[in-house]
Amino acid sequence: MSYLIRSLLSTCLLGIFLLHPTLVIGQEEQQEPEEEVLPVVIRNVTLIDGNGGEPRSNVSILMAEDSIIGIVDNERDIPIESKIYDYSGHYVIPGLIDAHVHVTSNPSEEPRIYSASSLKHALYGGITTVRDLASDARSLASFARDALLDEIESPDIYYSSFIAHPDFFEADKRTLQPSRGAVLGKTSHFLAIDENDDLKEAIAYARGSGATGIKIYAGYDREMMRKLTEEAHRQGMKVWAHTALIPAKPSDVVAAGPDSMIHIEMFIYELFDSADEVDKRRGEQSIDYSKLKVDDPAIVKVFKEMAEKNVILDPTLISEKRLEHGEGWFQYNADLLRLAHKMGVPVSTGTDNLGSPNEYYLPTLFEEIESIVEFSGFTPLEAITSATLIGAKSIGIEKTHGTLEVGKKANMVILKADPSKNIHNIREIKVVIKNGKFYERALYTPIQAHSHE
Ligand SMILES: [Zn+2]
């Protein structure tokens, strides 16, 4: 019997342990390791578990290998034989999830180095999982494998197969870069589909990219949105759709019941007769957003349906801040998000921009988290749930990720200050733990790549 099991059995953790028979099986099937594997204890911290409840002080988190095996209040519940790290005075939150990144679409002449560099930057910045919403899945697949096995310093990576109407591929040159070397619109990760295609075959092909979900991007009406969603769900894939697909409006998109709707700024399409009109008026900056009613019944109806169907909104609020589409643009979008949140729409935190790895700053995700508090009225604890549990739900990994509970992955961030009191304290990172491995923030050094931004 391994050391780990003996030491656990010798304590009152037996109950916890029996709930996780897989650990026992795992230990007995494997060759007995030479070195002793002791449980690791994060001692005496304040726990913010990601479920949204009040912080719980003076707890200890017990980990074995890559999982959490106990969360205890009492010192005597800590196994005598364990590796103890005392973090008295610190706060622990689940590992953060950026729900909208493009890891392998980057401006570098050394794209692999740049991607590796931004992934390392993200991990030391507290991000233990990312959802990539369209980049080159051929290289993503290899990064995802290496991240899973902790062979590189990187968050876990889940990604999408990008699907749009063939006309979109013709019109938008951004599809070229991630499809290089292949026929445009014919790769399993960047796929052009129209109403004449066999959708069963097309979605099965998309699945072959290793993607967790499809990203439905543009060029579809209500009926195509429904068909694509139905078929992807039937084949066990998540459906992540732009809030407007043009011609499909937000009300058409939500009707299909996707898992995520992406970009708060696209709800405006619900208010005009045609998408062309929106685009034209945006182009001329002739929409006065400060005059638009935030609780317009058409948009309220969409939010209501999203809340009922548990469709997660990925607002990418921070990316709207960088654009200027007219008077009152950012505040209007922030107010829409405030309303959606109030109405019970689950919200994830995606940035559309992981952050530049060569800067000695934290990833963009921190700005998104702070923005939804500052401009859209989330409490700090709600924002943390958005950046952890809701992100995990959007990927479909909430059984193993997203909160700090017994049986889940040991993915967490230890903070030097209380983020529930002041959301900016979420930047006070002491150490990041992913799969039970420690990444000390102070030891972060960037991988150098040449950026051409
Ligand atoms: Zn994006």
**How far does residue 135's CA lie from ligand 1's centre (Å)?**
9
Q: 84-98, 173-187, 303-317, 341-355 — which is least confidently predicted?
A: 173-187
Res 109: pLDDT:
82
Q: How confident is the model at residue 251 (pLDDT cuts 50, 70, 90)?
A: very high
Q: Which two tokens stand for residue 204?
A: 């099965």
**How far does residue 101's CA lie from ligand 1's centre (Å)?**
6
Is pLDDT of 273 > 90?
A: no
User: Would you say residue 432 lies in a domain?
Assistant: no
**How far does residue 316's CA lie from ligand 1's centre (Å)?**
9
**300 and 352 fall within a common domain:** yes
Task: Render pLDDT for 387-417 as a digit per residue (tens, 0 to 9).
Answer: 999 999 999 999 999 999 999 999 999 999 9
**How far does residue 351's CA lie from ligand 1's centre (Å)?**
8
**Which distant-in-sequence residues (6+ apart) come within 8 Å of 276 by Cβ?**
none
Higher confidence at residue 395 or residue 10?
A: 395
Is pLDDT of 423 > 70?
A: yes
**83 and 18 fall within a common domain:** yes
Q: How confident is the model at residue 286 (pLDDT cuts 50, 70, 90)?
A: confident
Query: What's 43's domain CATH number?
Result: 2.30.40
**How far does residue 315's CA lie from ligand 1's centre (Å)?**
11
User: Would you say residue 423 lies in a domain?
Assistant: no
User: Would you say residue 434 lies in a domain?
Assistant: no
Residue 365 contacts residue 130 (beta carbons within 8 Å): no
Res 149: pLDDT:
96
Res 23: pLDDT:
43
Task: Render pLDDT for 200-223 as a digit per residue (tens, 0 to 9).
Answer: 999 999 999 999 999 999 999 999
User: Would you say residue 31 lies in a domain?
Assistant: yes
Higher confidence at residue 397 or residue 105?
A: 397
**How far does residue 381's CA lie from ligand 1's centre (Å)?**
26
Is pLDDT of 285 > 90?
A: no
User: Would you say residue 444 lies in a domain?
Assistant: no
**How far does residue 258's CA lie from ligand 1's centre (Å)?**
17
Given 74, 89, 104, the domain boundary residue is 89
Which stretch of DSSP H or E encloses residue 41? strand 40-47
**How far does residue 215's CA lie from ligand 1's centre (Å)?**
10
Which stretch of DSSP H or E encloses residue 383? helix 380-385
Q: Which two tokens stand for residue 282?
A: 């945006």
Is pLDDT of 28 > 80?
A: no
Q: 25-29, 78-82, 183-187, 271-275 — which is least confidently predicted?
A: 25-29
Q: How confident is the model at residue 63 (pLDDT cuts 50, 70, 90)?
A: very high
Is pLDDT of 37 > 90?
A: no
**212 and 67 fall within a common domain:** no
**How far does residue 100's CA lie from ligand 1's centre (Å)?**
6
Q: Which domain holds residue 351?
A: 95-402
**How far does residue 99's CA lie from ligand 1's centre (Å)?**
10
Given 31, 56, 89, the domain boundary residue is 89
CA distance 109 to 130: 23
Q: 168-172, 311-315, 404-408 — which is least confidently predicted?
A: 168-172
Is pLDDT of 68 > 90?
A: yes
Local structure of residue 139 (DSSP, 8 states)? H
Domain count, the chain: 2
**132 and 48 fall within a common domain:** no
**How far does residue 442's CA lie from ligand 1's centre (Å)?**
30
Residue 51 contacts residue 389 (beta carbons within 8 Å): yes
**How far does residue 102's CA lie from ligand 1's centre (Å)?**
7
Q: What is the pTM of this model?
A: 0.91
**How far does residue 263's CA lie from ligand 1's centre (Å)?**
9
